[in-house]
């Protein structure tokens, strides 16, 4: 992304204005987050501790203490049967959470049961025989529990939505000399209501989970699926951990939940007290919002000031930038005008105009050398190009106008130059289109080089294109320029030749001379190529070539096997 100077100045002003607020704000936010986290953890731990204390108090004091009195009163033989029954009935009336009391006496086939009338009536709406729900059977009692106070099975009555717990109290001394146990069915609705009424439920979530991972009570109506919290609670239940665990937990959706987990003594449950990190840090969010508001105000003021200031100094720089764009498009006639500031920017505009002049001179000079020469200069990284060369396999093409002397006779020099330049421009474009490079112009002759894996193919295709172009020029201009072309391929010496004062980057070697000799031997509208060229061509181009009798050329003791490609003008003449 590109920014102009005006934008950069505005951004700099914005950074200067925002940096102090951001740094100070981050420190304040970090401190606030730490305080809020500590506060949230204390709140979670306090809520979990309160609930476990309530659960313990509910079982140990609200239930077990009066049940102990009932158990002790019905034990032994101090009360008669009627007195014991009356005591049990009175006890269930005074304990609203106990929905049924049952006494199992050794040797007595049927237990003695007393039920809470209101709850019994409620069960009758759903069950034909409510006693099936309230009666405690032997399979519900864990082995050995008849000799100690304990909470047995806790099960859910789906029809009424109640959780019922079973408390077992062995009766010391038994009844009438027989072992006896007092069982109590306890409705845990009061615990559920305590959870719903707890102040923490207004800002967070409270759930109670049993050892099987079932949610017994909860403050949310939807399903609870915080697996990371439930796994930690299950681990605490399996290990019998009684301490309170507080910490952050990552949920399945990536959110963070702050939670405290506690295990009450009275029930095989875990109390899960949670608050989302987002809610816990809501004051920080409000603080960030306020900070962002003031930050925005500061940024607006700073950027307006920077805009007014930048508008006064960026005008000349924008003009220089627009001139640079024109230069990139190849327009070297552009100049940076109307820059009157007597400072570094004014000096920059003057130097920029001087640079344009020098670039124009350099580009004009570049047109007088080949692309290979420019690449050699660029590859030296600013150092002097050393004399000498390297061996390289290239394809060499020579093209020469036939009858140039006759053509130039009787014509004004200006006309000859204009036609010749048009010819050279056409040839240069064709050579470039066929991946070649013009090495030099010698009078009306050109020398082109081709390198790369397909250099021979490119050279021959270039020659065919040149002959076709000559016919088109003849048709359009009326000037009959007919050329001969010679092509050869082989290893040459490629490099800088000359002296330290005057150098020429070109190719030398016997293969270059042979290509020049072939060009001299070729007739109008003919391209002569050697066997080396033919052997390096694809089949389609080979089929277009015509084999000729070997010819003798200067510098060669043996005749040279040659092939010819005819141009369209030559083919037209032969057709006639």
Q: Which residue has the higher pLDDT, 570 or 115?
A: 115
503 and 417 housed in the same domain: yes
310 and 430 housed in the same domain: no
User: How sure is the predictor about 25, in pLDDT bands with cuts at 50, 70 and 90?
Assistant: low
298 and 408 housed in the same domain: no
415 and 471 housed in the same domain: yes
pLDDT of residue 341: 67
Q: Is the pLDDT of residue 382 over 50?
A: no
User: How sure is the predictor about 181, in pLDDT bands with cuts at 50, 70 and 90?
Assistant: confident
Residue 297 lies in a domain: yes
352 and 380 housed in the same domain: no
Please say whether the beta carbons of 200 and 43 come within 8 A: yes
Q: What angle do CA 138, 139, 143 make, to 5 degrees?
A: 80
**Cα gap 419→180, rounded to integer Å:** 131
The residue among 12, 37, 32, 26 whose CA lies nearest residue 292 is: 26
Q: Which residue has the higher pLDDT, 53 or 28?
A: 53
Residue 168 lies in a domain: yes
Of 319, 348, 364, the residue that ends a domain is: 364
The CATH number that applies at residue 70 is 3.30.450
User: How sure is the predictor about 529, in pLDDT bands with cuts at 50, 70 and 90?
Assistant: very high
Of 168, 185, 202, the residue that ends a domain is: 185
The residue among 72, 122, 67, 111 whose CA lies nearest residue 91 is: 67
Number of structural domains the chain divides into: 3
What Cα–Cα distance (Å) separates residue 266 from each residue in 149, 208, 288?
11, 13, 45
- What's the rounded mean pLDDT across residues 486-490? 94
User: How sure is the predictor about 72, in pLDDT bands with cuts at 50, 70 and 90?
Assistant: confident
**Cα gap 526→447, rounded to integer Å:** 16
Q: What is the mean pLDDT of the chain?
A: 80
Q: What pLDDT, in 10s, does the model give residues 133-167?
A: 888 887 777 655 444 555 767 888 888 888 898 88
Q: Is the pLDDT of residue 50 over 70?
A: yes
434 and 313 housed in the same domain: no
Q: What pLDDT, in 10s, does the model give residues 2-23?
A: 666 667 666 776 777 667 666 7
pLDDT of residue 257: 87
**Cα gap 89→70, rounded to integer Å:** 10
Please say whether the beta carbons of 191 and 216 come within 8 A: no
User: How sure is the predictor about 380, in pLDDT bands with cuts at 50, 70 and 90?
Assistant: very low
User: How sure is the predictor about 574, in pLDDT bands with cuts at 50, 70 and 90?
Assistant: very low
Of 337, 364, 391, the residue that ends a domain is: 364
Q: What angle do CA 521, 526, 528 make, to 5 degrees?
A: 55
338 and 389 housed in the same domain: no
348 and 440 housed in the same domain: no
Q: Is the pLDDT of residue 364 over 60?
A: no
Residue 146 lies in a domain: yes
Query: Poorest-confidence range of 232-236, 307-311, 391-395, 464-468?
Result: 307-311
401 and 530 housed in the same domain: yes
Please say whether the beta carbons of 395 and 435 come within 8 A: no
Residue 67 lies in a domain: yes
223: which DSSP letter? P
Residue 263 lies in a domain: no
Instruction: For 199-328, list the strands marked E by DSSP.
Output: 205-210, 215-218, 245-250, 256-262, 269-276
pLDDT of residue 277: 80
- What's the rounded mean pLDDT across residues 472-500? 79
pLDDT of residue 486: 94
Residue 503 lies in a domain: yes
User: How sure is the predictor about 420, in pLDDT bands with cuts at 50, 70 and 90?
Assistant: confident
The CATH number that applies at residue 504 is 3.30.70.1230
299 and 378 housed in the same domain: no
451 and 322 housed in the same domain: no
528 and 547 housed in the same domain: yes
Residue 123 lies in a domain: yes
- Domain of 485 in residue numbering reads as 371-575
The residue among 352, 50, 386 whose CA lies nearest residue 191 is: 50
**Cα gap 255→275, rounded to integer Å:** 11
pLDDT of residue 395: 94
Q: Is the pLDDT of residue 434 over 80?
A: yes
Residue 32 lies in a domain: no
Q: Specify which of 28-37, 252-261, 321-330, 338-347 reaches the highest per-range mean pLDDT.
A: 252-261
């Amino acid at each position: 992304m590109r920014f102009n100077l005006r934008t950069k100045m505005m951004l700099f002003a914005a950074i200067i204005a925002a940096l102090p607020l951001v740094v100070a704000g981050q420190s304040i936010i970090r401190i606030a987050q730490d305080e809020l986290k500590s506060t949230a953890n204390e709140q979670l731990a306090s809520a979990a501790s309160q609930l476990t204390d309530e659960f313990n108090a509910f079982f140990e004091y609200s239930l077990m203490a009066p049940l102990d009195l009932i158990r002790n009163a019905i034990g032994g033989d101090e009360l008669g049967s009627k007195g014991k029954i009356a005591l049990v009935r009175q006890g269930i009336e005074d304990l609203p959470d106990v929905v049924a009391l049952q006494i199992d006496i050794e040797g007595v086939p049927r237990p003695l049961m007393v039920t809470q009338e209101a709850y019994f009536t409620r069960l009758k709406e759903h069950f034909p025989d409510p006693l099936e729900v309230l009666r405690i059977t032997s399979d519900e009692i864990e082995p050995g529990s008849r000799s100690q106070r304990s909470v047995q099975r806790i099960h859910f009555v789906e029809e009424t939505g109640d959780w019922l717990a079973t408390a077992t109290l062995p009766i010391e001394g038994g009844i009438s000399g027989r072992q006896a146990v007092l069982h109590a069915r306890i409705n845990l609705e009061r615990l559920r209501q305590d959870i719903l009424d707890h102040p923490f439920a207004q800002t967070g979530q409270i759930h109670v989970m049993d050892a099987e991972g079932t949610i017994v009570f909860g403050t949310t109506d939807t399903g609870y699926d915080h697996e990371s919290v439930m796994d930690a609670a299950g681990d605490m239940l399996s290990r019998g951990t009684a301490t309170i665990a507080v910490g952050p937990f990552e949920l399945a959706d990536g959110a963070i939940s702050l939670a405290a987990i506690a295990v009450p003594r009275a029930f095989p449950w875990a109390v899960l007290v949670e608050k989302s990190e987002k809610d816990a840090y809501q004051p920080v969010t409000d603080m960030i919002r306020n900070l962002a508001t003031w930050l925005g105000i500061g940024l607006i003021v700073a950027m307006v000031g920077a805009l007014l200031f930048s508008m006064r100094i960026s005008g000349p720089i924008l003009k220089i930038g627009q001139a640079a764009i024109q230069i990139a498009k190849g327009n070297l006639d552009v100049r940076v005008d109307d820059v009157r500031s007597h400072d570094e920017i004014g000096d920059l505009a003057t130097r920029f105009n001087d640079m344009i002049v020098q670039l124009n001179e350099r580009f004009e000079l570049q047109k007088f050398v080949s692309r290979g020469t420019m690449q050699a200069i660029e590859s030296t990284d600013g150092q002097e190009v050393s004399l000498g060369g390297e061996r390289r396999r290239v394809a060499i093409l020579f093209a020469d106008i036939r009858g140039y002397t006759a053509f130039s006779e009787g014509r004004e020099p200006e006309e000859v130059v204009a036609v010749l330049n048009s010819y050279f421009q056409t040839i240069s474009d064709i050579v470039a289109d066929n991946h070649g490079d013009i090495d030099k112009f010698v009078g009306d002759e050109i020398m082109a080089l081709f390198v790369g894996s397909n250099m021979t193919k490119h050279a021959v295709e270039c020659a065919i294109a040149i002959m076709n172009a000559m016919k088109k020029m003849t048709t359009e201009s009326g000037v009959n320029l007919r050329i001969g072309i010679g092509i050869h391929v082989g290893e040459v010496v490629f490099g800088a030749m000359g002296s330290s004062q005057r150098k020429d980057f070109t190719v030398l070697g016997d293969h270059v001379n042979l290509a020049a000799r072939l060009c001299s031997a070729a007739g109008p509208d003919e391209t002569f190529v050697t066997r080396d060229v033919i052997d390096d061509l694809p089949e389609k181009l080979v089929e277009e070539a015509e084999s000729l009798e070997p010819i003798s050329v200067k510098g060669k003791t043996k005749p040279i096997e040659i092939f010819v490609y005819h141009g369209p003008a030559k083919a037209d003449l032969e057709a006639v």
